[in-house]
Structure 1
């Protein structure tokens, strides 16, 4: 039913809805911002339909997440799988199993694989020795499947199935909890026409991973084996130099400076594309002392090769937004600090990433201070940057001061309360006396009027007198009981 209060209720509801909408607008977080909008503003306009299915950006030093959109979406990474093969190759060299100068002889199997048209490859000549350093360049730049298999077999002593098991074991060790490998290069075993048959491995199995897991892999690769960037940073590379088998390749990483969509600071890592995965990309870029790692998955569709370029527009936009939105700086100085109402002493200066024009939040636990980042760490295996602290002696002094202040406030409270009561009592009493005085004045004023009005005036006078008495009684009650 429509009542007199209905318009007021409607207005109140509208105001409440407006407040809720406004609150939602101002609380938009970085990861919820629209990629299409800020990509256009940054000069990297992405066409409709080419937005990545998943993406993530992390700090390459600390593992702190700066951007995340569907980071745990299961996806087929395609040739990005070669990054794990490269990781295991560098690990094997670290263990002394071989060196960059170690050679692999091209046998008939490798020659046959190199001639499979459906696979990305390079020329392999029967009986020629191929140094590991050249095979690594072939893996990264032209994304050669045969070169990848030659390196994998070197690591595993030609046990193809053992190498795939090793890939999965390493993924588990690094904390890549949603990754499964079925092959060493990103191409399904069935695509090798019988020349690559790891025993016990599903030939139609397609590698699965996530943006988060691939960021974890890239983080560990760059952290442990930074020399990998010498193989991923060149837009053009020539392998087997000064031999009759020299080949020159242009990179598929179009975000490298000098390439089609060059972005300042990019120096790796790897692209990948397939019918099941679309167009994917892992990049790393360094500006000043800051290095970021990003993963872009699922741009476009395999049937439309435009995605090969659009993935770099998306990657450049997200990298640019991370670099311009966050800043790495000193957040706290060594020595005394007050954090979360705790007085502490830091052992050293504390640095970290924070959004520009926003204050950092910190967490204190077990003598360690960390940055309380809203997006967290890329992996629980990678702890947040921290600095040791000690409790300050000032804390006990401050606590004692607080207690004394509370006691003083408690002591002052009754006095203040009594003062308020006296003021209230006096006001009530004054008002009562004033009403009684008005009742007497009113009675005298109408004493000369006719008899009919005198009865009414007497009633009014009595009412004023009664109210005055009630106010005086209230004043007495305030003094006695409050």
Structure 2
């Protein structure tokens, strides 16, 4: 009895110790992945008050996610919304609507907006012609609300509401499933004192998006319009040079090299802050062949302006983590390669994202080679990187081609053949049962041949229906 009691106590002790060990292990694992701990370990002075509400890091070529913390939390991006407006401006130029040298004549409304103290702006004078190039710098370097409005009006011929609808349509097209825009600049339209008032749009609503959606937007912006970084990278620039309206613009992205939180390789993208959104940050940096994109949302609160600097500490820290862990590089060369014991010929060099100090794992599917690195794309609309190949041996190549093109057809034909054979066998057994019945004088209550025939016929019919509705079962 005593032995049993001792054993029970020992088992209970082991369970208790195991339970609390699990808790501590889980807490430790979480702490290793916690953005606050990562930032503090990187040497930045920060605390829980400034911890971001959401963040994400993706690789620019593949769109694969390297870090994510609450990436689908809905949030007010503030001036980061200007990236969507800039996307539509670049798209309009790509369609030939206007060029960087096209000028926009400032209106009385534009001048009035530029003088609203509460809004981030640059100086605009009514009647003066401002080149699109300079308005882009004003939008992305100075975060000018009036410059953004002027560009939006250029795209839609002063149809303010239409531009908002274009922003939302583009968001859906790009796969930004949790985003809704109510203004073009990140400042609610009610703060423009009536000088900017898109018809039918809620004047007091904030734009809503997520870290994931902003990463998707930034991915497509840099992929389709790589010159974007030309307008996001200057720490200081003079617009309207050699005119009476020359103006020096200062960048508030303090992670640009040379500024307070200068980060090696950083060349964009946009900051944003507001009373409801706190301090936000969309960034990109490139080192060697690897370009990363990150979004940091909800650092601190509007009352404490220290958050304007703290967002860069968090952004730099998770950039460090991602750059130290992953790299985008050439993994295979064009031409002959041996993959999974198969001799293949690649049509072009194959690049991919891989964890440092590891060997890539490849899969061959039909005529495409892919790499499995265990990372998911930021959006289901993005495809895993792949490259076309041919088998080096002619016989193998021929077999693969025939197999790829005729597999479904062969399977369907084979299935219907077997289904038909089952029905024919069933009919044969049923006929034989009749013959045997005629050859004997004693009636039988149970005829095994007839029963077997019916089973074959029913099986053939059911499998035929399955083949038509679902597909070949062989």
Normalization by structure 2: what TM-score? 0.76
Whole-Å separation in 2 of the counterparts to 1:231 and 1:100: 12
**Residue 276 of structure 1: how far off its partner (Å):** 1.0
Does 2:197 align with 1:208?
no
**Residue 331 of structure 1: how far off its partner (Å):** 4.6
CA offset digits 1:132-154 (Å, max 9, x no partner): 11111111111111111000000
Whole-Å separation in 1 of the counterparts to 2:386 and 2:56: 23
Worse-superposed segment, 345-354 or 129-138: 345-354
Whole-Å separation in 2 of the counterparts to 1:62 and 1:4: 59
Q: Check the 8 A contact 1:113/1:192 in 2, yes or no.
A: yes
Q: Count matched residues.
A: 391
1:34-45 counterparts in 2 under 5 A? 34-45=34-45
Does 2:71 align with 1:100?
no
**Residue 41 of structure 1: how far off its partner (Å):** 2.7
Whole-Å separation in 2 of the counterparts to 1:274 and 1:19: 43
Does 2:121 align with 1:121?
yes
Partner of 1:5: 7
- Is the alpha carbon distance of 1:367 and 1:230 closer, same or farther for their aligned partners in structure 2, counting shifts above 3 Å? same
Worse-superposed segment, 344-353 or 57-66: 344-353
Partner of 2:464: none
Q: Secondary structure of 2:338's match?
A: strand
Whole-Å separation in 1 of the counterparts to 2:42 and 2:21: 31
- Is the alpha carbon distance of 1:359 and 1:259 closer, same or farther for their aligned partners in structure 2, counting shifts above 3 Å? same
Q: Secondary structure of 1:3's match?
A: helix
Q: Secondary structure of 1:234's match?
A: coil
Whole-Å separation in 1 of the counterparts to 2:388 and 2:25: 37
Whole-Å separation in 2 of the counterparts to 1:371 and 1:18: 39
- Is the alpha carbon distance of 1:25 and 1:249 closer, same or farther for their aligned partners in structure 2, counting shifts above 3 Å? same
**Residue 382 of structure 1: how far off its partner (Å):** 1.6
Partner of 2:261: 261
Whole-Å separation in 2 of the counterparts to 1:45 and 1:324: 21
Partner of 1:57: 57
Partner of 2:81: 81
Q: Check the 8 A contact 1:57/1:65 in 2, yes or no.
A: yes
Q: Secondary structure of 2:48's match?
A: coil
Partner of 1:146: 146
- Is the alpha carbon distance of 1:86 and 1:291 closer, same or farther for their aligned partners in structure 2, counting shifts above 3 Å? same
Whole-Å separation in 1 of the counterparts to 2:343 and 2:315: 41
CA offset digits 1:93-122 (Å, max 9, x no partner): 111111111111111111111111111111
**Residue 228 of structure 1: how far off its partner (Å):** 1.4
Q: Secondary structure of 1:324's match?
A: helix
1:321-332 counterparts in 2 under 5 A? 321-331=321-331
Q: Which aligned runs of 4 or more in structure 1 are off by greater than 6 angstroms?
A: 391-396
Q: Check the 8 A contact 1:370/1:385 in 2, yes or no.
A: yes
Q: Check the 8 A contact 1:36/1:45 in 2, yes or no.
A: no
Q: Check the 8 A contact 1:64/1:378 in 2, yes or no.
A: yes
Partner of 2:337: 335
CA offset digits 1:36-56 (Å, max 9, x no partner): 222233233333311111111
1:203-242 counterparts in 2 under 5 A? 203-242=203-242
Q: Check the 8 A contact 1:346/1:387 in 2, yes or no.
A: no
1:39-438 counterparts in 2 under 5 A? 39-331=39-331, 335-338=337-340, 345=344, 347=346, 350-358=350-358, 360-362=360-362, 365-389=365-389
**Residue 91 of structure 1: how far off its partner (Å):** 0.8
Whole-Å separation in 2 of the counterparts to 1:365 and 1:205: 48
Whole-Å separation in 1 of the counterparts to 2:366 and 2:203: 50
**Residue 237 of structure 1: how far off its partner (Å):** 1.1
Higher alpha-carbon Rg: 1
Q: Structure 2: which 5+ residue stretches go unaligned? A: 397-474
Q: Check the 8 A contact 1:344/1:389 in 2, yes or no.
A: no
Q: Check the 8 A contact 2:152/2:184 in 1, yes or no.
A: yes
Q: Check the 8 A contact 2:78/2:274 in 1, yes or no.
A: yes
**Residue 3 of structure 1: how far off its partner (Å):** 1.9
Whole-Å separation in 1 of the counterparts to 2:129 and 2:323: 44
Worse-superposed segment, 241-250 or 5-14: 5-14
Q: Check the 8 A contact 1:256/1:268 in 2, yes or no.
A: yes
CA RMSD of aligned residues (A): 2.7
Q: Check the 8 A contact 1:343/1:395 in 2, yes or no.
A: no
Whole-Å separation in 1 of the counterparts to 2:245 and 2:360: 56
CA offset digits 1:18-41 (Å, max 9, x no partner): 885697589x59x97122222233
Whole-Å separation in 2 of the counterparts to 1:45 and 1:252: 20
- Is the alpha carbon distance of 1:190 and 1:19 closer, same or farther for their aligned partners in structure 2, counting shifts above 3 Å? closer
**Residue 344 of structure 1: how far off its partner (Å):** 7.0
CA offset digits 1:351-393 (Å, max 9, x no partner): 3223334555555545433333444001122212123356798
**Residue 80 of structure 1: how far off its partner (Å):** 0.6
